[in-house]
Structure 1
C-alpha cells in the first residue's frame, strides 16, 4: 500500500500526490493481464447451473444447483461465528477432503439454530442432490441463507432439487438464475468471470455471490461460489482461496455483524488441461484475487440501505494487526458511518474512533485525507495534529459523492490496511427493525443518489 511523503507545512490542506497505488493494484492491472468475460460460474469448461422456485420464498427463485461434469478439487472457508448453521457444519467437514462435484444452495431459510433436525435436513439436501445427479452424497456441498430458527420445508426442497437437476446447463442465463436464486435482501445479482492463459491453455474463473446485510468480516452474511477449470492440486487450491479471501471478503463491512451462514466455496475441475507446473508463474492467483475482490465490493455497494461506498486506507501503523484494528474501528463506528451518510467529512469522529481502537495513535502525527475513488490526489483535512485550512466546499464535494477514499496515516511504522465500508442510513434502520416479525413489510430500499 502507498505511503504519503508530502513535504508541506502541517497547517495547510493541500492536494498531495501519493507514491503508489497499494491494494488497488490488482484491480487496476487486471484487464491488462486477463480478460473479463460473461457466464460467471458457467464460464469455466464443464460447469453447469440451474435454479427453480420451490416454495421456500413466496414467489422468487429460491433453490440453485451448481455441478461439474467431473469431480473437482475443492476449497472452502466459512463463518467463525460460534453459532453457525447446519449447512456450514456439514460443508466445512466435506471441504477438508480433496474433491467434490456439486453445490446445492437455497435462499429464504438459513437452517440455522434448528438443532439436530437442521443437520439431518442439510444431509437430506445433499443426498437428494446426489441422487438426482448420480453422485456420491459426500461430494455435494450444501449452503443456505435466509431467516434463522425456521425449520427447512424439506418436502418443497426435495421436490425442487428433483425439478432443478434436469435443467442444468452451461449458459450465462442459467448462471444468472443461480445468482438470483441465492439472493435474500440483495437488490441485484452479483457475478463475474475472467479468462487468462497458463502456457498454451486458456483458463477461466467464474463467481457469484449474495450478501447485503450482516456484513462484517470474517466474511459477512454471504455466500460465494467460485468455479474454475484450472488443473490444480487441492492443497494449492485451498491455499490460493485463503489468500484471495483474506484480501477481499474478509475486508468488507456494512453493519459490523457476523453471520451464522458465511460460506465461500471453490471448485476446480481441471478441464482446462493446463500444466500444473506452470501455475506458480501464471496469473492464477491475481485472477482469483480480482474475482473475489470484485464480488466483495459488489456486496458492500448493495448493502442494506447503503448510499456511500468508502475505501478506508490506513497507512503507517506500527504493525499489521494495529493497522487492521484502526481500519475496522473507523469503518464500524456508528458516528463515522452516519457522517458518511450525510456527506459530512467529519474528521473529528475519525480521530475519536482511532483513539479508542487497539492501534497505537499519536495525535500529533496523524494525517486524515479524502480522495476520489482510486485517485492519487489526496485532500487533507487534518495533518500532524492540526486542522488544515482546506476549502470545506471542495472537501464536501468529495465526501458527498457516492464513492470516495479515506486515507489515515499514523506515521508510526510500515504497516498498512484497507477495508471497504458503507455508510449507515435511515433506510437500514427502517429495513431491519421489522425483518423477523414482519418480513413481508421489509421491502428493499435502493441507493440514494
Structure 2
C-alpha cells in the first residue's frame, strides 16, 4: 500500500560510477539483497549518520573509514549495502563482521579495506549471515554497470518492507555546462530520521570541494529527510551518503553553489517524500506547513507534534474531520507564550480554526471532503513571527500494526 504512483526515473550514466547487485539469500532467496556501488578515485564523499546511541556496527565502521580516508588523503571507493539484516545491537561481533565484509570486498576490488563503506538494513539484534553475504560480493562486482537499469536494480536491492523503488535524478545548468545528480533511497517504517533516512545514496558528476560538499549535504538533509516522519521512531542504521566524482563541471562560484544546492535539495526532498508515500500501511500523504513562528525550530516542534499524534494520524486514516485533534496537538506543542487567538489552522482550502475556536464558516461536509483525499495539507499559522517549516507524514492504519507485528516472522 502506498500513496500516489511515482515511477522510478531514468538515471543518466555518471562517468566512473558503476553499480552491481547479487541475490545473496541474506534473509530471503531469489531477491536482490546485496549492492555494490563503485566510485572513481577522483571522487569526494560526504555522509551523515543516525544519532541513535545504539547506532549499528556498519554506521560505526563507515564513520571510521571516512575519517581514515580523510587522514590519508584517500577516498572511499566502494559502498557495500545489504538488506535483510541491520547488524545493529550485535556488539563486537557486529563490528568484526562489518570490517570483514569491507576487507573481502577490498581484496576482490584491489583497494584498501578503509576505502569500503558498509551499510545494512533489516532486523535488529541478529548477527549477519556472513557466509551468504561474503559469497555475494564477487557476483555483485561481476554485474557492475553504470546504465539506468543498474541504478534501478541497486534501488531494488536495498528494500526491506518497502513496496516500491525510490529514486530521483536532476540535471542542473551551471552556466555553459551542467551537472547531474542521481539518488536512490529506502525506508518505510522506523522513520523519524535524526540526520537522514533509513538509507539514502546520491552521486553527482560535479567537481566540488569536500568541506563544501559536506555542508551542502547537511543543509539539504535538514530540509528533506529531517523533515519526515512515519512513526516517530529513529533507526539505528540511518545513513545518507553523497559522492561527487569530480568528472564534471566545477562548483566554485556562488552562483554555481546556489544552483547545485537547489538541485541537491530537489533530489533529497523527492526521495524523502517517496519514503513517506511508501510508509508502512500508508493511505494518506500529509503536508504539515507551519508559518508565523518565531524560529524554524519552533515551527518544526509544532509540525512534528501534530505529525506524531496517534489521534490525528488515525483520524486521517479514517477520513474523519475531527479537527479538534489537530487543535489539541498544536496546543500541546513545546511553544512558550502561545496566544491561541492568533492561531489559524486550515485543512487545504477549508478554514478550521481562528480566534481561538472553530472558524465560523466551517462545515463538517467541507472538512470531510478534504479528509477523504489521498494528499492533504494542514496549514498552521501561529501568528508569532516570520519563520516557518514544512514536514511530511502519513496516516496510521491497521496495516501498519499488521506489518510490524509480522515483521520477524
What is the alpha-carbon distance in structure 1 between the residues aligned to residue 91 and residue 238 of structure 2? 18
Change (3 A) 1:299 1:219: farther
Deviation at 1:248, TM superposition (A): 0.3
Query: Which residue pairs with 2:339 in the alignment?
Result: 362
What is the alpha-carbon distance in structure 2 between the residues aligned to residue 392 and residue 235 of structure 1? 53
Q: Deviations over 1:71-103 (max 9, x none)?
A: 410100011100110000111233345432210
Contiguous gaps of at least 5 residues in structure 1: 1-35, 372-377, 439-449
Q: How many residues align?
A: 394
What is the alpha-carbon distance in structure 1 between the residues aligned to residue 368 and residue 26 of structure 2? 45
What is the alpha-carbon distance in structure 1 between the residues aligned to residue 98 and residue 355 of structure 2? 55
Q: Is 1:53 aligned to residue 23 of structure 2?
A: yes
Secondary structure in 1 matching 2:312: helix
Contiguous gaps of at least 5 residues in structure 2: 1-7
Deviates more, 1:361-370 or 1:399-408: 361-370
Deviates more, 1:292-301 or 1:320-329: 320-329
What is the alpha-carbon distance in structure 1 between the residues aligned to residue 83 and residue 220 of structure 2? 25
Q: Is 1:69 aligned to residue 40 of structure 2?
A: yes
Query: Which residue pairs with 1:245 in the alignment?
Result: 221
Query: Which residue pairs with 2:4 in the alignment?
Result: none
Deviation at 1:200, TM superposition (A): 2.9
Secondary structure in 1 matching 2:159: coil
Using the size of structure 1 for normalisation, the TM-score is: 0.84
Query: Which residue pairs with 2:207 in the alignment?
Result: 231
* Counterpart among 59, 64, 77 of residue 101 in structure 1: 77
Residue pair 2:281, 2:397 contacting (<8 A) in 1 also: yes
Deviation at 1:321, TM superposition (A): 2.0
What is the alpha-carbon distance in structure 2 between the residues aligned to residue 216 and residue 237 of structure 1? 24
Residue pair 2:42, 2:247 contacting (<8 A) in 1 also: no
* Counterpart among 195, 209, 215 of residue 191 in structure 2: 215
Residue pair 1:229, 1:272 contacting (<8 A) in 2 also: yes
Residue pair 2:174, 2:256 contacting (<8 A) in 1 also: no
Q: Is 1:205 aligned to residue 166 of structure 2?
A: no
Secondary structure in 2 matching 1:95: helix
Alignment of 1:37-186 (within 5 A): 38-39=10-11, 43-59=13-29, 60-96=31-67, 97-98=69-70, 99-186=75-162
What is the alpha-carbon distance in structure 2 between the residues aligned to residue 275 and residue 304 of structure 1? 38
Secondary structure in 2 matching 1:276: coil
What is the alpha-carbon distance in structure 1 between the residues aligned to residue 39 and residue 344 of structure 2? 51
Q: Is 1:414 aligned to residue 390 of structure 2?
A: no
Deviation at 1:70, TM superposition (A): 2.7
What is the alpha-carbon distance in structure 2 between the residues aligned to residue 142 and residue 47 of structure 1? 17
Residue pair 2:197, 2:272 contacting (<8 A) in 1 also: no
Change (3 A) 1:194 1:43: farther
What is the alpha-carbon distance in structure 1 between the residues aligned to residue 397 and residue 250 of structure 2? 48
Query: Which residue pairs with 2:3 in the alignment?
Result: none
What is the alpha-carbon distance in structure 1 between the residues aligned to residue 32 and residue 185 of structure 2? 15
* Two-structure CA RMSD over aligned residues (Å): 1.7
What is the alpha-carbon distance in structure 1 between the residues aligned to residue 255 and residue 109 of structure 2? 31
Deviation at 1:358, TM superposition (A): 0.4
Deviation at 1:126, TM superposition (A): 1.2
* Counterpart among 354, 361, 367 of residue 383 in structure 1: 354
What is the alpha-carbon distance in structure 2 between the residues aligned to residue 282 and residue 45 of structure 1? 24
Q: Deviations over 1:137-188 (max 9, x none)?
A: 2111110000111111111111100111121111111111111110000001
Deviation at 1:230, TM superposition (A): 0.3
